[in-house]
Amino acid sequence: MRTLKIVLVAAVLTGTLPSGAVLAQSDIVNRPARPSASELGAAQQALDDALGHLRKVPNPQNRDNVRAMNLIKLAQQQLQSEGSLYPIN
């Protein structure tokens, strides 16, 4: 029984380790793509437009509007940090 367990574990490891190594080196696994300058610019423009629209509402100091503005500002900060992580040439 002990020998059978050892043989089964060895067979599983023999099959999974090489296939895992091949999969890791192949392009089958989707790696996160680096955002391009146009994508970052378009996202920044969309956030600027959204912030502009929120400033034009009848009651910009409404709790929901202030919360939305804070979320947009946070998204802008994260977008700027994304641009600094991937320097745009």
Average pLDDT of span 28-41: 70
Per-residue pLDDT at 83: 65
- pLDDT single digits (tens) 61-85: 889 888 998 999 999 888 888 766 5
Per-residue pLDDT at 89: 43
Average pLDDT of span 10-29: 67
What would the two tokens of residue 59 be?
């009651």
Provide the pLDDT confidence category of residue 21 given band limits of 50, 70 and 90. Answer: low
Average pLDDT of span 31-43: 74
Average pLDDT of span 4-29: 69
Compute the distance between CA of residue 2 and CA of residue 62 in angstroms, rounded to an integer.
71
- Taking the model in full, what pTM does it have? 0.53
In which region does residue 29 sit, left (phi positive, over 0), alpha (psi from -120 to 50) or beta (all else)? beta
